[in-house]
Amino acid sequence: MNREHWQQINQIFHEAQGYKSSERKAFLEKACAGDEELLREVHKLLASHEKAGDFLESPAMAVAAKAIASRKDVSSAKPEPKRVFITITQGPRKGKIFVLLEQKIVVFGRANDCFEIMPEDDPTVGRHHFALEVNPPTVGVRDLGSLNGTYVNGHRIGGRRGEEDPRQPKRRANKLILLHEGDVIKAGDTMFRISLEAPVLCTGCGESVNLYTAGAKNNSVRQKVFCEDCWEQLRRESKEFVRSVEAMASVRSICTVCDKEVATEAGPWKLGEFICERCRSKMVKNKNLLQKLLNTTSSSGRPDWKCALKDYDIRKHLGTGRLGPVYLARGKKDRRQVAVKVIFSSTVQDPGTVAQYNSMLEDIRGMRHPNLLEPVDYGSAGGAFYCVTEYCDSGNISHLLAKRRGKLGLHEALPIMEQALAGLAFIHQEGLFHGNLKPGNILLAGADGSWNVRIADFGLPGIFRELGLGGLIASEDPAALAYTPPELLTGAGIAGPLTDVWSIAAIFYHMLTGCIPHERKREVDPFASLIEPVIVPSAERTPDIVPEVANLLDDFLKLNQHQRPQNAGEMLERLRKIQVRVVRLTLAR
Amino acid sequence: MLAGNRQDVTQLLVAWNEGDQDALNRLTQMVYQDLHRLAHHYMRSERPGHLLQTTALVNETYLRLIDWKNVQWKNRSHFVGTCAQLMRRILVDFARSHGYLKRGGGSRKVPLEEAAGVMHQRDPDLVAIDEALKSLAEIDPRKGQIVELRFFGGLSVEETAEALGISPRTVMREWSIAQAWLHDQLTGAN
């Protein structure tokens, strides 16, 4: 097509649009004056114009982003999820396999709300016999005070001691036992075999290999695994390929810190950075060692960030959370105080995982709200991840409760509740949830009495879970689970805004009454009282509580998810409705 | 939300315009970051009302590159044109290297209800648009420019008009025919 011809088409196209469709045909025939090709071109264009609709109207950036989002396996850069397999090897349901992909606590026993309901006719199995705390690829088992105990590889854990009356429920909470590949658990007549699976990379191309596809298991040379494609090539082709494979195969896994070979710990086929368990535990206590690691290997994930973590002085160990140690640090340039959270991964950190971590944190960093802890920087170092946030100097709700001898007055609690709900409502509004709310995660800044509330730890546990980095088993102490709604403890529910609603309400309940909402009988195993809770109405705990507030708390803490407010926004609305009245009442008192 | 400093972006653009390869790499990284963040937002924007936020996000992405009020360039249109060209290049390269952005590259299961209206809803294929746009620019450079600014540069009709020094009405006229032509090229052929 030449330009003149095109101009002609343009001219006629625009003029034709001025005509009604009934008159258009006549006009076109006249305008094209017998030029069949011209007529055809204009027709084609007019028809296309009608069909085009909003073609190209949304910008290319949005088109590309939508294309990425609509792909089911967006995760091409994302590591394979880690899984825990539980196979029943003995008992009536022999052969059944459970695959657990995400962090969960699952209870086994004869009761109806168990994850796996065990045979009714086996008298040696308890109603809630044992719980598995799963966080792929880590898994632990805890006996729930069963009469006959649970056996791990033939060793009895839990159960009653000789002097304990078998008719009485058990009083101690049992320890969590970490499980390993191939461990066997026995409860009553049923046996379970645990297998842990971490993704394995092809030595040829570095792509992850699914060990469970047929044949893949055989594609191994001297403990190196290959994907189907590489294996075919290897067999068919040259010695050269075999040599390059051998060269790659000789890559050893070395701990970034102590330079020792850690193949057994890290797994023999994995490429990437890793810190061995010994160094990890050493570094939690030794800040100099950590500082050295951060100075030499840290790289910020922020694309616009010029100073890496070496520009911070690690000053003080503030504490160790579920994810890892937290330190107080100060910027060498701006002298700003920040909190540095270091998260040690118990699996090898390959570049894909690092990239994914960075991209997810970048996503979170965009979420700013006055009641969320402000993220400053994030990135990775050696075999660890880190996350820098603002530092709140006034502690958290736990500390405040300790200072106030257990509980807060309404005048102090109300503003804290309001701010915490505002922050959480923002998270829910964005379509996300927190998932790990507890008094220690509600931080306080500012002066005594006029607190600024900041919700911490938002998103990190979820990200860690999604990346399958492991090592995040729930705390040994059952009290730490008191803010997790029971449906999550039995494995019957999934985490979401509804579970956040319960958690934050349990924190408020604790703030106002001085104890957790669960009824706690002395003779009942503390863990069992959490999974089969009886919620004590707040007015029974503190008779002088303002009735409006008591009603509010009791409504928020409904065991049935659907009877709770659907998100923090709704909670905030309800709190604000009663606030004015309550403030007046407290002043009058 | 803005990850980059505008001053930085502007300097990088100037450097790129002068042929600095590193600058292009850094700009590409920034655009990718935005792209992925945007994709995250799409993934979790199933609820209604979210669309607005996402639109705002898209604009924010472009604004970052198009802060042309404070820059000494030969003229504004040159600068805006450079931005749009850059976005085009980065996004098309991205689409090319990720087969799934191309038609037929990578299959996706479509629910039946969606399949019925699939021709309407299908998002255009960036690589094919890039090719078609090259042919359009050969016979009609201005229409090529308008599509580049609006589609790849993310400019509104008014902004496009301002950048090219023509009236918004003309932009709309030219756009409608370019849109029809490209639509025909991309859907008519197969």
Q: Do B37 and A68 touch (CB under 8 A)?
A: no
pLDDT in tens, A285-323: 777 777 777 777 666 666 655 455 667 788 888 877 767
Q: What percent of chain A has pLDDT over 70?
A: 74
Query: Does the A277-390 domain belong in CATH 3.30.200.20?
Result: yes
Confidence of residue B49 (pLDDT cuts 50, 70, 90): very low
**CATH classification code of A397-588:** 1.10.510.10
Q: Domain boundaries in chain A? A: 3-57, 83-197, 277-390, 397-588
Residues from chain A that touch B40, judged by Cβ atoms under 8 A, are 69, 359-360, 363
- Same domain (yes/no): B138, B51: no
Number of structural domains found in chain B: 2
pLDDT in tens, B138-173: 989 999 999 999 998 888 888 888 888 899 999 999
Residue A317 makes CB contacts below 8 A (sequence gap 6+) with: A285, A287, A325, A326, A327
- Same domain (yes/no): B91, B45: no
Predicted pLDDT of residue A505: 93
Residues from chain A that touch B11, judged by Cβ atoms under 8 A, are none
Whether the CB-CB separation of B120 and B78 falls below 8 Å is answered with: no
Residue A564 φ/ψ, nearest 5 degrees: -85, 165
Burial class for A247, CB neighbours closer than 10 Å (0-12, 13-18, 19+): exposed
Could you tell me if A68 lies within 8 Å of chain B, comparing CB atoms? Answer: yes
In what helix (H) or strand (E) does residue A369 lie, and over which residues does it extend?
none
Three-state SS for B162? helix
Rounded distance between C-alpha atoms, residue A404 and residue A407, angstroms: 6
Whether the CB-CB separation of A211 and A199 falls below 8 Å is answered with: no
pLDDT of A419 above 60: yes
- Same domain (yes/no): B23, B56: yes
Q: Do B140 and A1 touch (CB under 8 A)?
A: no
- Compare A352 and A34 and report the one with higher pLDDT: A34
Residues from chain A that touch B109, judged by Cβ atoms under 8 A, are 72
- Give residue A272's Cα distance to chain centre: 22
Residues from chain B that touch A53, judged by Cβ atoms under 8 A, are 120
- Compare A570 and B46 and report the one with higher pLDDT: A570
- Same domain (yes/no): B174, B97: yes
- Compare A30 and A480 and report the one with higher pLDDT: A30
Which of B17, B48, B65 corresponds to the end of one domain?
A: B65
Three-state SS for A434? coil
Three-state SS for A347? coil
pLDDT in tens, A521-537: 766 667 777 777 888 89
Could you tell me if A63 lies within 8 Å of chain B, comparing CB atoms? Answer: yes
Q: Do B101 and A67 touch (CB under 8 A)?
A: yes
Predicted pLDDT of residue A73: 38
- Same domain (yes/no): B59, B92: no
- Which of A17, A56, A426 to probe the B interface (max B CBs under 10 A)? A56
Q: Which of A45, A74, A430 sits opposite B39 (nearest CB)?
A: A74
Residues from chain B that touch A64, judged by Cβ atoms under 8 A, are 35, 91, 94-95, 101, 126
Could you tell me if A49 lies within 8 Å of chain B, comparing CB atoms? Answer: yes
Q: A589: closest CA among A558, A559, A545?
A: A545
Could you tell me if A56 lies within 8 Å of chain B, comparing CB atoms? Answer: yes
Strand ordering across the sheet containing A130-135: A116-117, A104-109, A130-135, A138-143, A177-178
Predicted pLDDT of residue A454: 93
pLDDT in tens, A427-461: 888 778 888 888 888 999 888 878 899 998 887 76
Predicted pLDDT of residue B102: 41
Q: Do B108 and A70 touch (CB under 8 A)?
A: yes
Q: Domain span at residue B35?
A: 1-65
Q: A91: closest CA among A222, A193, A7, A177?
A: A193
- Same domain (yes/no): B56, B87: no
Confidence of residue A52 (pLDDT cuts 50, 70, 90): confident
Which of B15, B31, B65 corresponds to the end of one domain?
A: B65
- The position carrying tokens 């639509």 is B183
- The position carrying tokens 């044109």 is B81
Predicted pLDDT of residue B136: 92
- Same domain (yes/no): B139, B80: yes
Q: A528: closest CA among A558, A564, A489?
A: A489
Residues from chain A that touch B187, judged by Cβ atoms under 8 A, are 48, 51
Residue type, A50: E
CA A511 vs CA A170, A179, A411: distances in Å: 29, 36, 12
Question: Nearest C-alpha of chain B: how many angstroms from A79?
Answer: 17
Strands A130-135 and A138-143: antiparallel
- Same domain (yes/no): B105, B180: yes
pLDDT of B178 above 90: yes
Three-state SS for A105? strand
Residue B58 makes CB contacts below 8 A (sequence gap 6+) with: A59, A61, A62, B38, B154
Predicted pLDDT of residue B110: 39
Burial code (b: 16+ CB inside 10 Å, e: under 16) for B158-186 equals ebbbbbbeeeeeebebbbbbbbbbbbbbb
- For residue B149 the two structure tokens come to 């600014």
Could you tell me if A77 lies within 8 Å of chain B, comparing CB atoms? Answer: no
- Give residue A32's Cα distance to chain centre: 66
Whether the CB-CB separation of A423 and A452 falls below 8 Å is answered with: no
- Same domain (yes/no): B32, B60: yes
Q: Which of B44, B98, B108 sits opposite A72 (nearest CB)?
A: B108
Whether the CB-CB separation of A251 and A201 falls below 8 Å is answered with: no
Confidence of residue A74 (pLDDT cuts 50, 70, 90): very low
- Same domain (yes/no): B130, B165: yes
CATH architecture of the region A83-197: Sandwich (2.60)
Rounded distance between C-alpha atoms, residue A427 and residue A432, angstroms: 6
Average pLDDT across chain A, whole number: 77
- Same domain (yes/no): B153, B104: yes
pLDDT in tens, A134-180: 877 678 888 877 778 889 988 888 776 655 554 454 455 667 788 87
- For residue B59 the two structure tokens come to 């604009």
